[in-house]
Amino acid sequence: MATSGPGGRPRRSRQYIIIGTVLAVIAFLAAAGLASAPYLFPASPLGTKVVVAKTNIPARTRITAADLTLSAVNPVPPESFTNISAVVGKGARVDIPAGEPVTTNIIASAPDLVSSSDVTYLPIPQGYVAAAIPTSEQAGVAGYVQVGDRISILASLNTQVLGASPAVLAVRTVFRDLMVLRVGPATTAQGTSQVSTSLTVLMTACDSEYMFWLINNATLKYELESYQDYGATPTRPDPSCDSVLAAKGVGPAAVNKRWSFTTP
């Protein structure tokens, strides 16, 4: 039977010690690596990257690229964007907090409607005109009407101006869904809560003649419409008044025919 030499057992013991030490070091390094993995290799959030507000975006301001970033969101909000360039240049309809996804219902496609910049032109489609109408605190919804809003107009008049006898006081809703292009004069900053003395609205040239007749002969008050009732923004001429040349003038008979003030 073979036996180990006098130095066999000490050498074997040293080997066990070395192997044990190496295994302990490897185990320590493995444990340290697992503990630091979340810091060295952070897990990617699940979801689709959509455009979100990088900083707080105030309402009625033009959105820039510096205001936006991409962030993974799950589930993806309806009508969100995956490309920052699709949002840059639009206008914020409401305050957008930092980190909030930007969706189509909270931005305006026409930035001039919410911008406070002093642009040299108004967004007026062909066949339409911009008309300034008088307003005040009580007539203009206490100053809550702002750029981009839609308003309805009520006209109260004495039918005597229409030749009716006996004369009565009549009230009619004469215009609906008029888009507000500006509040106050051009030198006043847009989007403020200050009560102004004028509103600049978008309408056809034909409607503007009726409007100015009513301004001269009736008392006007405005109603602020819900954004859920807004119609489409006009982009082409109205078939009923396809050109500014279509306006031919109005008088009491035309006004009464259109709105039937003298009809009970």
- How much is the pLDDT for 237? 87
- How much is the pLDDT for 1? 47
- How much is the pLDDT for 45? 57
- How much is the pLDDT for 147? 84
- How much is the pLDDT for 191? 47
Name the residue among 66, 64, 59, 52 with its Cα closest to residue 98.
52
pLDDT of 148 over the 60 cut: yes
How far apart are the C-alpha atoms of 138 and 178, rounded to whole Å?
Answer: 18
pLDDT of 256 over the 60 cut: yes
Torsion from C-alpha of 34, 37, 38, 43, nearest 10 degrees: -120
CATH of domain 48-109: 3.90.1210.10
pLDDT tens string 212-247 = 999 999 999 999 988 888 888 888 888 888 888 888
Longest dimension (CA), the chain: 141
pLDDT class of 252 with cuts at 50, 70, 90: very high
pLDDT tens string 161-217 = 888 888 889 999 999 999 988 888 765 444 444 677 889 999 999 999 999 999 999
Q: How do the domains of the chain map onto residue ranges?
A: 48-109, 128-259
175 or 146: which carries more pLDDT confidence? 175
Cβ-Cβ contacts under 8 Å for 121 (sequence gap 6 or more): none
- How much is the pLDDT for 203? 92
pLDDT tens string 47-106 = 789 999 999 988 777 899 999 999 998 888 888 999 999 999 888 877 899 999 999 888
How far apart are the C-alpha atoms of 97 and 56, rounded to whole Å?
Answer: 5
